[in-house]
């Protein structure tokens, strides 16, 4: 399944070489990609709609930027980010997503900047490393995201995220990670960070807390998630 540099379009992306900007902002949800393109980008053009995954390229404050959905889970973001990094010459991917919080100081709508990503998945097994690989974000992107969050007066934390392969976890084990200082749980970052590392590219995940294991009464609806989580989108766009 290892493909070569020249295979664009790919089986999953119909865009041509050059259709994507250097930076791609990547929400999980195709409707959120559409929302970002319509709300923030000027002259946005739909460059991919295979499987309804919605990729757009336009301009934000005069800078060319793309936005495309990743779908849910590590295998899905694993495919899209691999193709963008390796076939479309994309330099940076910034994931903007939602996560569950497992930290007492993080509430619904607060922001987590994922400096690292733990996982219960086996995405990194493909690299045949003689130990455990630590998927981490690009420091320059982390630093800039934190500075912008600071500037905007947002409540945010920088730290470790858990990328879980099981949303409905039979062992209900996500909270076990909290004792190691892990801030939240989502399903994509570790694979994104692995792909960036392997390709020598940059990646960052910025998540908005959509629900909390500690304060379940604060949980948000999918409609709120789709359009009200604009602060992380603005951070990502400012970095781009």
Residues 6+ apart with CB under 8 A from 96: 25, 26, 27, 32, 36, 205, 206, 207, 208, 229, 232, 233, 236
Are the C-beta atoms of residues 84 and 14 closer than 8 Å to each other? no
- With vertex at residue 45, the alpha carbon angle to CA 142 and CA 70, rounded to the nearest 5 degrees, is 45
**171 phi/psi in degrees, rounded to 5:** -85, -10
169 is catalytic: no
Indicate the helix (H) or strand (E) that contains 46.
Answer: strand 42-48
Give me the residues paired with residue 203 across strands. Answer: 93
**Under 8 Å between Cβ of 154 and 111:** yes
Helix axes 74-87, 189-199, angle to 10 degrees: 20
Helix/strand/coil for 90: coil
Which of 19, 29, 138, 211 is an active site residue?
211
Helix (H, G, I), strand (E, B) or coil at 164: coil
Specify whether the CB–CB gap between 94 and 239 falls below 8 A.
yes
Rounded CA gap, 228 and 118, in Å? Answer: 27
Spatial distance between the Cα atoms of 102 and 229, rounded to a whole number of angstroms:
19
Residues with catalytic annotation? 211
């Amino acid at each position: 399944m290892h493909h070569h540099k020249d295979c664009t379009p790919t089986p999953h992306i119909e865009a041509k070489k050059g259709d994507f900007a250097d930076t791609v902002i990547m929400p999980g949800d195709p409707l959120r990609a559409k929302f970002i393109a319509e709300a923030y980008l000027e002259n946005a053009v739909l460059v991919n709609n295979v499987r309804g995954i919605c990729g757009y390229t336009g301009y934000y404050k005069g800078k060319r930027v793309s936005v495309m959905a990743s779908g849910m889970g590590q295998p899905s973001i694993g495919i899209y980010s691999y193709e963008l990094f390796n076939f479309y010459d994309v330099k940076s991917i910034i994931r903007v997503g939602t996560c569950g919080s497992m930290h007492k100081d993080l509430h619904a709508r607060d922001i987590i900047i994922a400096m690292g990503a733990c996982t219960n998945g086996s995405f990194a097994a493909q690299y045949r490393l003689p130990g455990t690989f630590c998927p981490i974000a690009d420091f320059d992107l982390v630093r800039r995201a934190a500075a912008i969050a600071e500037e905007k007066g947002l409540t945010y934390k920088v730290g470790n995220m858990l990328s879980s392969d099981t949303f409905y976890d039979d062992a209900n084990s996500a909270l076990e990670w909290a004792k190691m200082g892990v801030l939240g749980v989502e399903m994509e970052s570790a694979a994104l960070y692995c792909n960036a590392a392997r390709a020598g590219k940059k990646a960052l995940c910025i998540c908005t807390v959509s629900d909390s294991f500690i304060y379940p009464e604060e949980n948000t609806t999918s409609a709120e998630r789709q359009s009200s989580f604009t602060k992380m989108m603005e951070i990502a766009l400012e970095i781009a």
